[in-house]
Structure 1
């Protein structure tokens, strides 16, 4: 669970900082920086299955069984 929280913080913090700076100063970041920060924040959910697969043996086993078509979950 800590990895999920850390991933969320790392991916969403640049966008949050950008928005706070924009609200306080009234100036926006360059479009390329805005694009990268926004898509990092939006890609947060995309990375969750990879983090689960890397860190959780049970999730890894079940996902292998699903993708290989082996539905015998009792072995």
Structure 2
């Protein structure tokens, strides 16, 4: 796998430079957590709670909505 490959976190499709990569409306509004790992495209385990969400890739670990909000 190429280290520069990126994947859409909401569709799991590989992002091709120069091609449109639409984000679902709910995801763009921040209402939907990512379902796929942006680094490898694997489906993640996702847990949603009233105050946020976390998602875990078997290869790349956990991401958390609270960590993303501080960026």
- TM-score, with length taken from structure 2: 0.20
Q: Which structure's relative contact order is higher, taking Cα pairs within 8 Å and 6+ residues apart?
A: 1
Structure (1 or 2) with the larger CA radius of gyration: 1
- TM-score, with length taken from structure 1: 0.20
Determine which structure has the larger strand proportion and give its number. 2
